[in-house]
Amino acid sequence: MTNHNGQEQATPLTALQPDGFPYLNGELFVEGLSVDKIADKVPTPFYCYSAATIRNAYTLLADKLKPSGASICFAVKANSNISVLRLLSGLGSGMDIVSGGELERALTAGVSPSKIVFSGVGKTRAEIARALGVGIHQINVESAAELDVIRDVARNFGCRAPIVLRVNPDVDARTHAKISTGKKGDKFGIAIESITDLYASAAEAPELDLQGLAVHIGSQLLNLSPYRAAYGRLATVVKELRSNGLAVRRLDLGGGLGISYDFGLGPDVSEYADIITESLSGLGCELTVEPGRWLVGPAGILVTEVLYLKKTGDIVTAVVDAAMNDLIRPSLYGAVHPVLPLRSSDDRSTCAYQLAGPVCETSDVFRKLWQSPSPSIWRSYLLWMCWRLRRLDGFELQLQRSGRRSSGGCGPFSSDSTEANDR
């Protein structure tokens, strides 16, 4: 079975529903708070996250991973909101970063440097120096050239840099072409046939504390079979290195678990955990996984207000105050996010719309030919885009409050269980 992006679905599947956003008496709520009332306090556009949904996802995954002993490092690139990072850190998660900026955000959130992994193909000398200076857990090395730079920086610091080498296993993740990272020719990792020689060389460098290997084959995986293939190849490399007298203590297994964007079923995390246990637990290595969107994707909504309606050819364009800079996936990947109304209605009449942002780019469109409830019943927000329209008379929009975009970030709105911010 394939989804609307042409991705093969995994079987069996489990649902991770965004149940932190229920309708109560026909109105959208987040953990007991009216989204409408939040928007009265926080200017749109803004993101709002359900802490309970994040907690539930983390707890579920951590429980399934117990037999393998794998620890979790959240992929900060999935959501770098400091409140979200603080929440996950409090649950026991480490952090997987890909930049110096993400390192600083993790530190600001109170994450221990000893629980931070530094990934990414383009680390600068300054970023490497900062990471070594604060004492992070490890640096995932992407190339021989990067390895030389890390050695030089560590030599100048007078320390040994904790590292693992990222293997490119040449495995097709069967995901979107732009987020597949484990095939030969991708810019990520070190070719699997080159690992043995480079590993042996790194093991002899006094500036390096070589701990093991890493692998990450892509993002938004709904079919789990590529994990089994990649981890099987990784296990083979471990055995080969050990047969040459080289120690392998850690295995960083990357992330990539996908989610459903139509409130359907996602990957079975029990099967995912079983693949890890069956493929790697017998090696006696310290294991780490790095989920991102799977933990936070179903927990957030982007709230935006409709500014104008205009007739464009045969359809109506609803211009909202959120833009591609707020949610880039539709313009970058052609991704489709669900759009839900602030208030449910018994009126089933629909019209064809496209939902567009205010950026001066034709690609700044969130949905095309979207069958929306007719304007007569609009008073809405969107989930994973959540939109609001105060009142419509024909195509004339009358706002009860401005809700206009501002150049500065909007301040946070929070309760004990909910975070809203401009990130």
Report yes or no: 388 and 59 within 8 Å, Cβ to Cβ. no
Distance (Å, rounded) from C-alpha 343 to C-alpha 227? Answer: 41
Report yes or no: 84 and 419 within 8 Å, Cβ to Cβ. yes
Structure tokens at 391: 């009142």
Alpha helices in 327-379 (DSSP H): 329-333
Known catalytic residue: 360? yes
Identify the helix (H) or strand (E) that includes residue 57. helix 51-65
Report yes or no: 251 and 262 within 8 Å, Cβ to Cβ. no
Distance (Å, rounded) from C-alpha 68 to C-alpha 56? Answer: 20
Distance (Å, rounded) from C-alpha 268 to C-alpha 140? Answer: 27
Taking each helix axis from N to C terminus, what angle separates 125-134 and 144-157, rounded to the nearest 10 degrees?
50
Distance (Å, rounded) from C-alpha 246 to C-alpha 201? Answer: 11
Which residue of the set 48, 285, 351, 360 is catalytic? 360
Report the candidate in 302, 316, 317, 327 with the shortest Cα–Cα distance to residue 381: 302
Structure tokens at 316: 């109506």
**What is the 8-class DSSP label of residue 76?**
G
Distance (Å, rounded) from C-alpha 269 to C-alpha 275? Answer: 10
Distance (Å, rounded) from C-alpha 313 to C-alpha 196? Answer: 60
Report yes or no: 383 and 340 within 8 Å, Cβ to Cβ. yes
Distance (Å, rounded) from C-alpha 61 to C-alpha 44? Answer: 33
Report the candidate in 120, 23, 68, 7 with the shortest Cα–Cα distance to residue 288: 68
Distance (Å, rounded) from C-alpha 420 to C-alpha 423? Answer: 8
Identify the helix (H) or strand (E) that includes residue 270. helix 269-280
The phi and psi torsions of 367 (rounded to 5 degrees) equal: -140, 140
Residues annotated as catalytic are 360
